[in-house]
Chain A
Amino acid sequence: MIDFELSAEDKATIEAAHKFAEEFMRPISRYYDEHEHEEPDEFIQKSMGLRSQGGVFGLGVAAALRVEEFCWGDAGLMLAMPGPGLGGAAVFASGTREQIGRFLTRYGEDQPCWGAMAMTEPHCGSDTAAINTTAVREGDEWVINGEKIFVTAGKRAMEKSKGLTVVWATVDKTAGRAGMKPFVVEAGTPGVKVEKQEKKLGIRASDTVTLVFDNCRIPFENILGSPEVRKVDKTDTAGFKKAMATFDATRPIIAAMAIGVARAALDFVKETLQKEGIEIRYGLPRQKLTALERDVMEMESQYKAAKMLMLRAVWMMSQLQPNNLESSMAKVKAGLAATKITQKAVEILGPLGYSRKCLVEKWMRDAKINDIFEGTGQINMLVVARRILDFTREQLK
């Protein structure tokens, strides 16, 4: 039965997340935006207490809605919260039971711990198949060499905790996509170095670093999925597609993040208008609406549209239904909607919107990342288009 009602238990955890965002994220939001690279230690300790309520990350409907609340609080700080992150999601999606136990148990322990995923390289972003980082087998080990950039939570995962990073490397350059494999590199492994820490437009509380792998040796068992490279022909990308399934799980979560930031801006606009005695008259015919009412209703419906697509994608995931199309749809829509909504909020609020006294301008900067990471809006649009048209990557480039 089509139903939009959450269980009482889910409602409670979502409300708890909202309260946490209100009490512990909003008050420090501006500080960590203006003090980039400063570690929010106290906040990190506080967020450890959330684990009893289902943790920060997770892959169900309630988990996604908690992410929305945390990002309503602060998207940068949300990404600074300890947890397995995207690396953990990759382990969860394509690891064996043994690997899941070996790599993810640490996230339930008392010390804060982070997980990261390293895909992008200086010369390639969306074109993931073009990566140059190599993994060469030597006896019982893999030797990894290469440079990864834009690794979210890379510093916290590799230097500040006993975390891990899932690194994508090729075991056979001639095999193209079929040769690309994910490897788990744990913190403290010799040969991996955290280098540049990026200065960013937004989500400044989230660390974004370069990881350099210089003859970094990891156990053979740290490869996720099969080490086999099936070289039937270059267009056979079954293995690659399976590994990319991680994105089907993470894209709706990014959508939830975008939606959280968008709602922060939307709520603020509505509260501000309410204080001024301006009411949004929903039932009115559009010829009678003011331009302001139209704008707010447009923002709100964009938010709703994105949220519905996000909910469907995470719900399908929780039902173990394939959601490749739906998760990309949610990601495209949410990334764009959050970008537009926050930009409009700055415009509507005028001097309040542009001023760093309020958080609106920050939300506009924060929102933009959701249209970029985990696949830009355009790459996700390409995924959607190929699925809708039933076209291969050769048929639609």
Chain B
Amino acid sequence: MDCLSVRREIHAYLDQELDLASVLQIDRHLASCEGCQGVLAQLTALQSGLREHAVRHAAPASLVQRIRAQVDASATPRARNAAPASAPRMPWFRHWFQLGAAVAASALVTWTGTALYYASAGGDAVAEQVFASHARSVLSERLYDVASSDQHTVKPWLSSRLDFSPPVADLAGAGFPLTGGRLDYVNGRRVAVLVYKHRQHWIDLFVWPEAKGGALRATEQATNGFNVLRWSDSGMAFWAVSDVNAAELKQFAEAYAAAK
């Protein structure tokens, strides 16, 4: 074996990816070639250096919690779009390629999935429903029933299907473009959900009429990096849910309150 062929295979040799016959051939060459020994020493030292010094980033605890919460939410029987019960029988590796295609093909892929794990007291039942709806819609990629950035399209669409007329405003100027709306069922009634985008994040704004009207009175709640901001205004209840940070969600609420 000459130096050129040895050095072509020296990485595989280092990584123990060669068959025994090739290993023995290279061993024989190395025994009598200082040049190739030097190359191998370099590569070995580099490998140890990488393994010893390269940073291993551990997943933040908040990320783990968010993922668990999201999966739990999607796994409840209420889930609108549960995962298929059976998958076609194919070798697992072929699924990888299918998966790639599926990922690439989905038109409404969410960049950031959003979820909230609710643990505080008071209004919990509603909060859980609002959160579950948000998580399901993101997970199932069924973000809206009517996709439009035009408030004059979204509002009549929602109003014609509800017993109230939600205030709808496009907030693109403030960095929160309207992307559509959907219907959902929360707290025993049909509600409007306005879907906004902020950078890569989705903000769901749930709106329904509330018996006890009142002025703007906002309550913030946050768990594990997810935020809910709720307020009441002119007889309507508003719940904004997103994984944008609390300050951004507040900006959103202010922009909405100012625009409607």
Q: Do A and B bind each other?
A: no
Q: Which residues of B come within 8 Å of A, CB atoms?
A: none
